[in-house]
Amino acid sequence: MPSLLLLLLSAAFGGADWPEFAWEAAPARVSLVEVVEEAEVFLGEEVRFVAQVCERVEQWEGLLTPFQPGTHRGLMLWPDEALLWQQEAYEAPLLTTFVRRDSRWAARAERLRPHDRVLVTGRVRSCLAGRPWIEVTRILRMREQVPEGTVLHAIRAGEMVERGALDLAQAEVERALAAPLPERPRVVLEAFREGCQRLTTRLEHGWRPTERELRQERRRLAEGLQGKGAEALTASWTRRMRLLGSGVPHGSATPAGKR
């Protein structure tokens, strides 16, 4: 007799097969930044991390790598920590990982789009020039992500606050927050919104700053939006990832390609 629980779960997860569903409970073990910075430590090891999709890669120089364009597809990733409205972060994806073309995950990876947030399991097959070469063995798409619309609204919010248009800055950040965001970018955007609100309230209650003081306040807001001075926040966020004993951090995941 069919189980009602199985039926409900099947409907909720779009028919995902059960090995993937079982793996969904596994935590992200490390950050992609850590894997890149300590590549030799992870050589030969299985790694699991959350990242953001930049783009698919079909061609690369494969002479000195274990992966060839004929046998693998490339998937270029930003680290999960990256605030993609930062120009330097957006323009510098961290690493390209590789999916075998004949694997069950190749078609799933093909359906991924830029800004999709993914939970990746892979094995560090080699370490060349200090960089890890990771073959993807499993990939799930997270429900929470930083979409392009959020990136654009966050950029505009920063521009508005630099011009002194606090109301417009708050309107832009509200739009940026409309998406189901991961914890770190959401916290940064919320802190920016609260900073704009506090500054607006001070001005409405009679504070008359000098031009220099006002420029300093705006600069602090703009720097906060860029994540500057947020080292403690980042450290706390990373610790939470490592301490979670079960469940996917910052939202659950669905198999890539199943929407």
Report pLDDT digits (tens) over 142-195.
999 999 999 999 999 999 999 999 999 999 999 999 999 999 999 999 999 999
Using the 3D structure, point to which of 94, 128, 145 is the last residue of a domain: 145
Provide the residue range defining the domain that includes 154. 148-236
Positive or negative, the Cα torsion across 96, 101, 105, 109? positive
DSSP, res 252: -
Using the 3D structure, point to which of 117, 145, 173 is the last residue of a domain: 145
- Please give the average per-residue pLDDT across 77-101, as a whole number: 95
Same domain, 24 and 82: yes
Same domain, 141 and 167: no
Residue 123 predicted with pLDDT over 50: yes
H helices of 13-51, in order, are 18-23, 32-37
The reported pLDDT for the residue numbered 26 is: 53
Residue 248 lies in a domain: no
Report how many domains make up the chain.
2
Q: Which residue has the higher pLDDT, 51 or 242?
A: 51
Q: Using N-to-C axis directions, what is the helix angle for 183-204 and 231-243, rounded to 10°?
A: 150
Using the 3D structure, point to which of 109, 125, 145 is the last residue of a domain: 145
Poorest-pLDDT segment among 91-105, 140-154, 216-230: 216-230
Nearest 5°: the CA angle 96, 33, 19 is: 70
255 neighbors 20 (Cβ within 8 angstroms): yes
DSSP-assigned beta bridge partners for residue 121: 48, 138
Residue 254 lies in a domain: no
The reported pLDDT for the residue numbered 63 is: 75
Same domain, 139 and 26: yes
Same domain, 41 and 112: yes
Same domain, 24 and 109: yes
70 neighbors 97 (Cβ within 8 angstroms): no
CATH number of the domain that 111 lies in?
A: 2.40.50.140
Same domain, 157 and 135: no
- Please give the average per-residue pLDDT across 43-72, as a whole number: 90
Same domain, 115 and 180: no
Residue 94 lies in a domain: yes
**Which residues, at least 6 apart from 94, have a Cβ–Cβ distance to it below 8 Å?**
32, 33, 36, 51, 77, 78, 79, 82
Same domain, 136 and 21: yes
